[in-house]
């Protein structure tokens, strides 16, 4: 009888052990990238809304990983239990991660004591050096871990490519994890969760170490397994590839984040797609390695980069034209688009390490050296990108240059003459791509007829100023975000931000603007005499535009103010000055990092810089919010200002935070007594004090629930989703806001309106509510109801600019009906101008009408009136 052999349990056991090793290292990759993203978020709390925190984190990680892996070459060689040491390092990193916020905060408070003596650049350099030192430590341990893991898999079926690939696959998950965790459990809890996973990895490594030791006893080190350092030329080449790869990564984040909207989600998706390509390249391409690949792969990188930049306008136009039904569908579609443009390049970058390491010696030992050189090059690249390349070249040109340099570096390692001819061809193709495409090419729908007047880019932001066909100018940040416009109605909206804030203080002498933009908002403060103006603006492009391109609409207010180029949070943390009035400018809260400007911490910072009777007014654009996000902001504001109030100005909500008590109507009356009659008219924008008091919307009630916290952010994750889940509906939001509007009697009591003034206040107060109801009706498609309500609102308060403008616009659109009723065009237009003397559409029509009739004197008067209201109007500016 033949005896059946038992199954080979040793082989099965061995396979399980090596799969466990791969799993551990993949999860380690997850924690490493999650730490990088979370620590980057931590640094943004210190460095403000800029790319410096991101660059510093990347640089620290690259330097640490590189130095650690090179140091690990020697340590791994003499270490008898590499997996045990790896587990110890994972546990140490977890403990360090938990302690890091405390160390950072302590050092930050120490540095802050003398930071007011430093410029913003000096402050960034000092703080950056301190941060670099703190983050290099855990990154160094991670780099040592790579060398140790290569020692662990020595003599096993696990190749360098597989180990590197699975670690990067884990990194993809780690890059995406914070997108969920930050909004759900906050920054501190996110770090703790990742630290707990790190601890689990360390414990698992301890458990596996004895099995690995038993397996390694079967593999004796041969002469070929001795550590073989690659030639210095190879290390320099691969370090250069690392520097250019980081330049590509940061450049793609800037370029594609610009056309895909730079939200927290998009940044995470771009990083995840980048890592996924590298992981797949490492796992797949080395399996099909052929000699010809050494020639083809460098050109694949360069050609792929050039094609991506060449097709950037097409990609942007596709995104602008596309209609996405769900937020998930948007993210998936844009991730696929991003993958199409970047995958050929990232696949090669991922395959490069195992392919180079497999030449002329032991792949795993060579791989450690190459990995270390690549990471150190990446750290240098990150610093150069921030300080030199983006300011000097811009993101698009930097991407092109990085792609070409990688191609050159790839060819320098092989003997080829035809390859250099290919480089010449690439340079010819790349030359037209040296500049960012025009705005009208990137946004062919919204900016179809515009032309670029100004483009500025640095590591902080991208700024465009474009001129429309009618001559009006628009300031764009990160391409798709309109910060301000010279259109007459937009100018008045911007000036109102200063008017309301200054009117609510009984005697303002100092005012701080958190954000300058075009300077038009600050221009609203010009009618107030003896006023010291200060503004904080981080964007150098905005500073230039305000002084040189919008001076005709901001009345050269920049020359009458003290301007600080700084981040608002850093300025408030370092200055000792206090102000009577502080104005928080409009901004886009769904942009990455911007939501912290609406946090409890930021509101408290502002409060600490108010004088005794000081007022802080934070403006919010209602079309940017859904109900839940707005509730969070209102709740956070009220937590900092217990006596907080609200005012409505068109579609903008003003959150008014008095440092102590809210003075109400008495503050405005006291303020206006200090002004002449002419100054009063200008200070109120020609609408009168009662119109402004009629825009009162009630106190912000104390409620329980979520807050916008710097360490537990909410709105920057909620707002991008709200656009697609149906919750961001303007009509629904205004209906909810109507519920907060107090009854006139209650508002009269809160504001302290006297008995003789109640009729004036009541008419203005009711008019504001009627106008709001008219806008809701219009949004819901009931134009008849909207027209009736806006007419009633005008009857109640004809001085309100928004009501008069809405009525005039309605009348202009119905000129055809007026003709049917026997009313001539001239008479109809004069009726419109009687309601709103500054209505641009009617002024232009009257100018053309008088010109056609041969009444040149009257026509010229209308043209000059139009030009006075709209100084940049292209047609009116032409001398006829």
Q: What is the pLDDT of residues 580-592, one digit of tens each?
A: 999 998 888 887 7
DSSP letters, 151-220, are HHTTTSS--HHHHHHHHHHHHHHHHHHHHHHHHHTHHHHHHHHHHHHHHHHHHHHHHHHHHHHHHHTT--
> In the numeric block, which tokens belong to residue 182?
């930050």
pLDDT band at 823 (very low <50, low <70, confident <90, very high): confident
Q: Would you say residue 217 has pLDDT above 70?
A: no
Percent of the chain whose predicted confidence (pLDDT) is above 70: 91
pLDDT band at 107 (very low <50, low <70, confident <90, very high): low
| pLDDT at residue 112, rounded to an integer | 63
| pLDDT at residue 727, rounded to an integer | 79
Q: Would you say residue 350 has pLDDT above 80?
A: yes
pLDDT band at 44 (very low <50, low <70, confident <90, very high): low
pTM exceeds cut of 0.85: yes
Cβ-in-10-Å burial (0-12, 13-18, 19+) of 441 comes to middle
Q: Where are the alpha helices (DSSP H) in 285-417?
A: 293-310, 312-321, 327-357, 363-384, 390-393, 395-411
d(CA 660, CA 622): 27
| pLDDT at residue 6, rounded to an integer | 46
Q: Would you say residue 220 has pLDDT above 80?
A: no
| pLDDT at residue 607, rounded to an integer | 97
Of residues 103 and 198, which shows the higher confidence score? 198
Question: Which residues face 452 on adjacent strands?
Answer: 466
Per residue in 45-63, pLDDT (tens digit) is 665 555 666 777 888 899 9
Q: Would you say residue 5 has pLDDT above 70?
A: no
Question: What's 6's DSSP letter?
Answer: P
pLDDT band at 75 (very low <50, low <70, confident <90, very high): confident
User: Which of 106-110, 312-316, 706-710, 832-836 bottoms out in mean pLDDT, i.e. has the lowest?
Assistant: 106-110
Task: Identify the helix (H) or strand (E) that includes residue 481.
Answer: strand 481-485
> In the numeric block, which tokens belong to residue 581?
């009035």
- Mean pLDDT computed over 436-448: 92
Per residue in 291-332, pLDDT (tens digit) is 667 778 899 999 999 999 999 999 999 988 888 888 888 888
d(CA 161, CA 163): 6
| pLDDT at residue 3, rounded to an integer | 47
d(CA 635, CA 775): 26
Read off φ and ψ for residue 75, nearest 5 degrees: -65, -40
| pLDDT at residue 879, rounded to an integer | 58
Strand intervals (E) in 196-282: none
Torsion sign (Cα): 368, 370, 373, 374: negative
Read off φ and ψ for residue 384, nearest 5 degrees: -65, -40
| pLDDT at residue 685, rounded to an integer | 94
- Mean pLDDT computed over 745-758: 95
Pairing mode, strands 473-477 and 481-485: antiparallel
Per residue in 541-600, pLDDT (tens digit) is 999 999 999 999 999 999 999 999 888 887 888 888 999 999 998 888 887 778 889 999
User: Which of 171-180, 259-268, 710-719 bottoms out in mean pLDDT, i.e. has the lowest?
Assistant: 259-268
Question: Which residues face 466 on adjacent strands?
Answer: 452, 474
Torsion sign (Cα): 78, 84, 88, 90: positive
Of residues 644 and 327, which shows the higher confidence score? 644
Helix (H, G, I), strand (E, B) or coil at 5: coil
Please measure the distance between the N-terminal and C-terminal CA atoms of the chain and give it in whole angstroms: 115
Tell me the chain's radius of gyration from C-alpha atoms: 32
Q: How far does CA 542 lie from the centroid of its chain?
A: 16
Per residue in 484-514, pLDDT (tens digit) is 899 999 999 999 999 999 999 999 999 999 9
CA distances from residue 438 to 27, 393, 441, 537 in whole angstroms, order as listed: 43, 16, 5, 25
Cβ-in-10-Å burial (0-12, 13-18, 19+) of 550 comes to buried
User: Which of 33-47, 449-463, 850-864 bottoms out in mean pLDDT, i.e. has the lowest?
Assistant: 33-47
């Amino acid at each position: 009888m033949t005896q059946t052999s038992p199954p080979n349990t040793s082989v099965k056991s061995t396979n399980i052990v090596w799969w466990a090793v791969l799993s551990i290292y993949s999860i380690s990759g997850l924690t490493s990238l999650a730490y990088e993203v979370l620590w980057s978020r931590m640094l943004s709390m210190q460095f403000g809304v800029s790319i410096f925190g991101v660059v510093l984190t990347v640089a620290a990680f690259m330097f640490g990983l590189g130095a650690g892996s090179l140091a690990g070459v020697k340590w791994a060689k003499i270490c008898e239990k590499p997996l045990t040491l790896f587990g110890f390092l994972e546990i140490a990193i977890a403990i360090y991660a938990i302690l890091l916020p405390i160390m950072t905060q302590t050092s930050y408070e120490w540095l802050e004591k003398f930071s007011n003596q430093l410029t913003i650049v000096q402050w960034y350099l000092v703080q950056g050096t301190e941060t670099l030192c703190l983050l290099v430590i855990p990154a160094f341990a991670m780099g040592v871990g790579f060398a140790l893991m290569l020692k662990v898999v020595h003599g096993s079926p696990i190749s360098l490519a597989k180990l590197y690939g699975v670690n990067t696959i884990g990194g993809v998950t780690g890059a995406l994890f914070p997108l969920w965790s930050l909004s759900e459990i906050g920054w501190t809890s996110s770090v703790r969760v990742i630290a707990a996973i790190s601890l689990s990895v360390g414990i698992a490594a301890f458990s596996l170490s004895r099995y690995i030791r038993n397996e390694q006893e079967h593999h004796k080190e041969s002469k070929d397994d001795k550590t073989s350092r690659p030639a210095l030329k190879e290390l320099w080449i691969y370090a250069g590839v690392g520097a250019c790869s980081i330049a590509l990564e940061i450049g793609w984040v800037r370029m594609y984040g610009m056309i895909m909207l730079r939200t927290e989600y998009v940044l995470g998706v771009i990083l995840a797609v980048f890592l996924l390509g590298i992981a797949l390249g490492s796992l797949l391409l080395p399996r099909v390695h052929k000699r010809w690949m050494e020639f083809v792969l460098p050109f694949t990188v360069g050609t792929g980069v050039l094609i991506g930049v060449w097709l950037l306008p097409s990609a942007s136009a596709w995104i602008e034209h596309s209609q996405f039904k769900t937020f998930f569908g948007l993210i998936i579609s844009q991730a696929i688009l991003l993958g199409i443009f970047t995958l050929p390049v990232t696949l090669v970058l991922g395959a490069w390490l195992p392919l180079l390491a497999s030449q002329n010696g032991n792949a795993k030992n060579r791989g450690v050296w190459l990995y270390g050189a690549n990471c150190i090059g990446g750290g240098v690249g990150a610093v150069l990108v921030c300080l030199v390349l983006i300011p000097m070249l811009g993101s698009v040109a930097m991407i092109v240059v990085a792609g070409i340099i990688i191609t050159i570096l790839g060819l320098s390692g092989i003997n080829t003459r035809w390859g250099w001819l290919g480089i010449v061809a690439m340079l010819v193709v790349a030359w037209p791509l040296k500049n960012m495409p025009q705005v009208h090419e990137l946004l062919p729908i919204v900016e179809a007829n515009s032309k670029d007047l100004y483009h500025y880019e640095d590591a902080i932001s991208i700024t465009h100023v474009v001129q429309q066909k009618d001559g009006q100018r628009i300031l764009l940040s990160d391409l798709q975000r309109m910060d301000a416009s010279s259109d007459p109605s937009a100018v008045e909206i911007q000036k109102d931000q200063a008017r309301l804030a200054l009117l609510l203080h009984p005697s303002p002498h100092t005012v701080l603007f958190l954000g300058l933009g075009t300077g038009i908002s600050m221009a609203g403060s010009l009618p107030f005499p003896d006023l010291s103006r200060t503004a904080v603006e981080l964007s150098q492009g905005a500073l230039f535009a305000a002084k040189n391109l919008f001076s005709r609409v901001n009345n050269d207010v920049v020359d009458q103010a003290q301007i600080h180029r700084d981040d608002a949070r850093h300025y408030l943390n370092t200055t000792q000055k206090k102000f009577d009035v502080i104005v928080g400018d409009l901004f886009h809260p769904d942009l990455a990092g911007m939501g912290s400007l609406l946090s409890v911490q930021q509101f408290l910072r502002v409060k600490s810089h108010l004088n005794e009777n000081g007022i802080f007014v934070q403006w919010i654009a209602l079309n940017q919010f859904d109900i839940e996000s707005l509730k969070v902001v209102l709740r956070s504001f009220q937590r900092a200002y217990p006596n907080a109030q609200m005012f409505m100005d068109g579609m903008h909500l003003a959150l008014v935070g008095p440092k102590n008590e809210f003075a109400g109507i008495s503050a405005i009356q006291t303020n206006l007594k200090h002004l002449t009659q002419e100054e009063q008219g200008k200070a109120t924008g020609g609408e009168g004090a009662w119109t402004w008091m009629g825009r009162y919307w009630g106190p912000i009630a104390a409620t329980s629930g979520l807050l916008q916290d710097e360490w537990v952010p909410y709105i920057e994750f909620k707002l991008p989703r709200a656009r697609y889940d149906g919750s961001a509906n303007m009509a629904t939001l205004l209906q909810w806001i109507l519920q907060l509007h107090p009854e006139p009697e209650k508002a009269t009591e809160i504001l302290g309106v006297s008995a003789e003034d109640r009729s004036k206040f009541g008419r203005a107060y009711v008019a504001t509510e009627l106008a709001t109801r008219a806008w809701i009706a219009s949004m819901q498609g009931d134009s008849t109801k909207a027209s009736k309500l806006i007419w009633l609102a005008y009857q109640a308060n004809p001085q309100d600019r928004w009501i008069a403008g809405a009525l005039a616009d309605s009348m202009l659109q119905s000129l055809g009906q007026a003709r049917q009723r026997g009313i001539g065009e001239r008479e109809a237009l004069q009726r419109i101008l009687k309601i709103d003397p500054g209505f641009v559409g009617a002024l232009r029509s009257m100018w053309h009408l008088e010109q056609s009739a041969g009444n040149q004197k009257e026509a010229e008067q209308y043209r000059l009136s139009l030009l006075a209201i709209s100084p940049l109007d292209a047609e009116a500016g032409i001398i006829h």
